[in-house]
Every structure is written in structure tokens, then in C-alpha cells.
């Protein structure tokens, strides 16, 4: 079984400016590309697991999200980095698109997408890591046996909010990966 890295997308890999889905909105967070390349070189299979409620809310389509992922992959490839697979949840109970306005197990903190990644990428969750900018990004992976780090503002690394306190913390993806690989 492979080591895996479960990475959140918005706010972790790319700047989260609110319901990001157009390829021209892609802006990597500081250190994200280097972090992904480091994981690739260390033999980690990378699964991006992301909630994409903008689909349920009618802001964009699944095709838009897939085009964004294609652009993200293209730009990473230019630097010698890659993501093995993208998994996204298009659902939200408050959605305006009936087909997506449902309660599901794939929306984080549900673990359905993590379990799917484990199966499809042949991952050993106990040898895997997770990084995200919300506790819901980490909870499913930690429950399955992975180690995780929460991305927080620099001022919260040493002085976390009550919600952040249970988690290891770092201010960006690169520092989180560095901490997890120590």
C-alpha cells in the first residue's frame, strides 16, 4: 500500500477568494507548489479532497471545477509536480440546484471521498498525512489513522483559537508538509 497525502484545495493549495472555479482564478498559496513537489519526490500519492458547494449553489458547474483542476494540474506539471487524483463534493443542503441540494457522506467532514481515495490509490491511511485550512478537512483523515496539520494564520500557530487547539498547526502547506515529514 502507498503513502498518501490528503490535501484540501481552497485555502490550502490555492488562494480562496470565494467559490473559485474559473481557471483564470488560480493563484497558488505561498509554498504550495514546492510542498506538492516535495510530496511527489518522497513517494506520496496525492489526493485533493475538496468541498465545492458552489456547484450546489449554482455559481458554477462540475465542468467548471474540472477545468480548474485541469489548469491546476497543467501549471503544476510545468514545475515538475503533480496531483494523482482530484475528488470533490458538489453537494450542500442549502443548495439551489435540486440535484445537489442533499445531505451526503462525501461532503467533509464526511469520509466517503477519503475512503474512495484510499481504495483507488491503494493508500495506507496509517502511513498518510492530511493538510487543510479547516478542522473538517482533517477530521476524516485523522479518524482513518492519518496524521494532519491545520493551516492557520501565523498569529494562530502559537495562539490558536479553541477550534484550532486540538490540531498541529502551520501557516502554509509547505510548512505543514515539512512538519509532517520530520
pLDDT in tens, 8-61: 999 999 999 999 999 999 999 999 999 999 999 999 999 999 999 999 999 999
Tell me the average pLDDT across 130-141.
Answer: 97
Share of the chain above pLDDT 70, in %: 100
Of the residues 8, 84, 111, 137, which is catalytic?
8
Instruction: Give the predicted TM-score (pTM) of the model.
Output: 0.96
What is the DSSP code (8-state) at residue 167?
S
- Residue 149: pLDDT band (50, 70, 90) is very high
Active-site residue, 8 included: yes
Beta strands in the chain (DSSP E): 4-7, 45-51, 85-89, 129-132, 147-151, 168-170
- Residue 62: pLDDT band (50, 70, 90) is very high
Of the residues 10, 84, 111, 137, which is catalytic?
10
- Class in CATH terms, 4-181: alpha beta
pLDDT at residue 115, rounded to an integer: 98
Cα–Cα–Cα angle for 11, 19, 58, nearest 5°?
155
Active-site residue, 122 included: no
Residues 6+ apart with CB under 8 A from 118: 4, 125, 144
Query: CA dist 24 to 59, 115, 171, Å?
Result: 16, 31, 25
What's the CA gap between 9 and 18, in Å, rounded? Answer: 12
pLDDT at residue 14, rounded to an integer: 98
Q: Which residues pair with 132 in a beta bridge?
A: 150
> Can you tell me which residue has the cell 510548512?
175
Rg (CA), the chain: 15
The structural domains of the chain, with segments of one domain joined by +, span 4-181
What's the CA gap between 95 and 111, in Å, rounded? Answer: 20
pLDDT at residue 91, rounded to an integer: 98
Amino acid at each position: 500500500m502507498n503513502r498518501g497525502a490528503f490535501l484540501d484545495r481552497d485555502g490550502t493549495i490555492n488562494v480562496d477568494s470565494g467559490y473559485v472555479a474559473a481557471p483564470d482564478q488560480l493563484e497558488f498559496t505561498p509554498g504550495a507548489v514546492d510542498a506538492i513537489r516535495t510530496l511527489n519526490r518522497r513517494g506520496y500519492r496525492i489526493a485533493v479532497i475538496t468541498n465545492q458547494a458552489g456547484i450546489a449553489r449554482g455559481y458554477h458547474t462540475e465542468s467548471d471545477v474540472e477545468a480548474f483542476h485541469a489548469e491546476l494540474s497543467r501549471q503544476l506539471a510545468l514545475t515538475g509536480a503533480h496531483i494523482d487524483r482530484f475528488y470533490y463534493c458538489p453537494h450542500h443542503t442549502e443548495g439551489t440546484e435540486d440535484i445537489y441540494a442533499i445531505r451526503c457522506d462525501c461532503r467533509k467532514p464526511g469520509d466517503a471521498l477519503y475512503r474512495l481515495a484510499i481504495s483507488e490509490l491503494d493508500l495506507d491511511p496509517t502511513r498518510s498525512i492530511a493538510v487543510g485550512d479547516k478542522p473538517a478537512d482533517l477530521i476524516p483523515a485523522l479518524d482513518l489513522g492519518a496524521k494532519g496539520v491545520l493551516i492557520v494564520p501565523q498569529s494562530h500557530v502559537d495562539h490558536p483559537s479553541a477550534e484550532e487547539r486540538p490540531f498541529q498547526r502551520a501557516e502554509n502547506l509547505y510548512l505543514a508538509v515539512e512538519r509532517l515529514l520530520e
